Amino acid sequence: MTELLRLFTRAHKLLRAASDEAMSAHGVRIGQNLVLEVLWQTDGLTPGELAGRLQVSTPTVVNTATRMEAAGLLVRRRDPADGRLVRLHLTDKAREAQGPVEAARRRLAEHATATLTEDERRHLRSALEKIIERMGSWPAQGADRGTD
Amino acid sequence: MTELLRLFTRAHKLLRAASDEAMSAHGVRIGQNLVLEVLWQTDGLTPGELAGRLQVSTPTVVNTATRMEAAGLLVRRRDPADGRLVRLHLTDKAREAQGPVEAARRRLAEHATATLTEDERRHLRSALEKIIERMGSWPAQGADRGTD
DNA sequence: GGCAGGTCGTTAGCGTGCAAACGAAATCTG
DNA sequence: CAGATTTCGTTTGCACGCTAACGACCTGCC
């Protein structure tokens, strides 16, 4: 039964490594991809907003943003109306990476599930959704953040 | 399609956090669990052997072992026959944790999949195995990558 | 026997996640 | 209006993965 957890860990590690490797070719590391996916849709969010959408802690977003800034993927701008806020804006470089990065991820997902039938993929997706849903009711988990 | 990767990441994060939280109550952190699972079966392995079994890099095992040593879960012993080797031996504390930790993980796995039918769990397990199998053939993964 | 090269564990440095402590800015109170 | 409180981002310090560089040890060859 707990072997399911092990399988999960193993599969995730492989997928993560492959994903990182695939995106690195386009100047994007795996942790930055989450941020990009949101900012490609909605530019100029704050670290806190991003953290909420990504279900990640704010320091994680801040640190990732710092690395992305160093990598020339985004710039920080102080919100003129509220001096506490910082708005993250993508650079052209980041926008140009969208196509290639999304394509790379699509290829990866297809490769990983190549030996699954369409039906199996649907089942997998469904099972993952159920698990995610279910884990919201884990004692120490659902308590605070996560309002998206 | 790539949403499957996102679901995977999300589910893994939730499971990992819950797992860590569940085991921390017994003095074991999530990264240490992999090492323990192997050493509970076969005590006295070297970092390199562990890394091989766990499909993890040797430095990862070394660092984890250092933390586990500090936590009183294992001791390092130089191999008398081969001075390069270090053998990792569990302490009583680590052996006593086996029951509780395994029980906690079993509870977690059952909780996470509580809304899945037995059939769905089997499908999930099968899908994960196929993905793991499949990822062995990802370009940069199994073999070393040439200059392409 | 001694040195070259291979095989170990370790260290250093980085990316990615977390929680807790901190400082600055806005807002709410008296 | 001034002080307390709340709300932000950031910093700090930790866990856990990785690669690359290093140092200790063993082995093989002369």
CATH code (residue B102): 1.10.10.10
Q: Å between B8 CA and D18 C1'?
A: 21
Asked if strand C contacts B6 at the CB level, meaning under 7 A, the answer is no
Q: How far apart are CA A5 and CA B109, in angstroms?
A: 7
Q: Give the end-to-end CA distance of chain B in Å, rounded to a whole number.
A: 27
pTM value > 0.85? yes
In a domain, B141, yes or no: no
Among residues A66, A84, A61, the alpha carbon closest in space to that of A145 is found at: A61
Instruction: Among all protein residues, pick the one whose CA is nearest to the C1' atom of C18.
Output: A57
Residue A89's DSSP bridge partners are A75
Domain span at B18: 2-135
Average pLDDT value for residue range A72-84: 96
Q: How far apart are CA B55 and CA B35, in angstroms?
A: 11
The strand pair at B74-78 and B86-90 is best described as antiparallel
* Nearest C-alpha in B relative to A102: B2
Closest-CA distance, A13 to chain B, in angstroms, reads: 9
Among residues B93, B82, B14, B141, the alpha carbon closest in space to that of A136 is found at: B14
The CA angle B97-B98-B99, to the nearest 5 degrees, is 100
In a domain, B147, yes or no: no
- Residues in contact with strand D, defined as Cβ under 7 Å from any of its atoms: A 13, 17, 46-49, 51, 58-59, 62-63, 65-66, 76, 84-86; B 20, 29-32, 34, 55-60, 63-64, 67, 82-84
In a domain, B145, yes or no: no
Length of chain B: 148
Are B2 and A109 within 8 A, CB to CB? yes
Tokens 């956090």, located at residue: B17
- pLDDT, residue B136, reads 82
Closest-CA distance, A105 to chain B, in angstroms, reads: 6
Instruction: Among all protein residues, pick the one whose CA is nearest to the C1' atom of D16.
Output: B31
C-alpha B113, offset from chain centre: 20
- pLDDT, residue B138, reads 74
Would the CA dihedral through B118, A9, A16, A141 be positive or negative? positive
C1'-nearest nucleotide to the CA of B80: D25
Residues of B in contact with A23 (CB under 8 A): none
- pLDDT, residue A139, reads 67
Cβ-proximal residues to B92 (8 Å cutoff; 6+ apart), any chain? none
| Structure tokens given for B48 | 């390199």
In a domain, B143, yes or no: no
Among residues A75, A70, A80, A67, the alpha carbon closest in space to that of A92 is found at: A75
Are A141 and B10 within 8 A, CB to CB? no
The CA angle B11-B6-B136, to the nearest 5 degrees, is 90
Q: How far apart are CA B70 and CA B47, in angstroms?
A: 16
A48-64 burial: b if 16+ Cβ within 10 Å, else e:
ebbbbbbbbeeebbbeb
Domain count for chain A: 1
| Structure tokens given for A92 | 């052209």
Residues of B in contact with A134 (CB under 8 A): 111-115
**Which positions in strand C are less than 7 Å from the protein's CB atoms?**
6-13, 15-20, 23-27
In a domain, A140, yes or no: no
* Nearest C-alpha in A relative to B55: A10
Are B11 and A105 within 8 A, CB to CB? no
In a domain, B24, yes or no: yes
For the cut 90, the answer to whether the pLDDT of residue A106 exceeds it is: yes
- pLDDT, residue A147, reads 35
Are B132 and A10 within 8 A, CB to CB? yes
Q: How far apart are CA B141 and CA A147, in angstroms?
A: 37
| Structure tokens given for A85 | 């806020």
In a domain, B148, yes or no: no
DSSP state of A80: S
Interval B112-126: pLDDT, tens: 999 999 999 999 999
Instruction: Write the residue in B121, B132, B138 that is nearest to A11 by C-beta.
Output: B132
For the cut 60, the answer to whether the pLDDT of residue B133 exceeds it is: yes
Q: Band the pLDDT of B147: cuts 50, 70, 90.
A: very low
Cβ-proximal residues to B132 (8 Å cutoff; 6+ apart), any chain? A7, A10, A11, A14
* Nearest C-alpha in B relative to A55: B10
Which amino acid, one-letter code, is at B109? A
Residue A76's DSSP bridge partners are A88
Residue B78's DSSP bridge partners are B86
**CB burial of residue A35 (10 Å; 0-12, 13-18, 19+):** buried
Q: Band the pLDDT of A138: cuts 50, 70, 90.
A: confident
B57, B124, B127, B139 from A116: Cα distances, Å = 29, 11, 7, 19
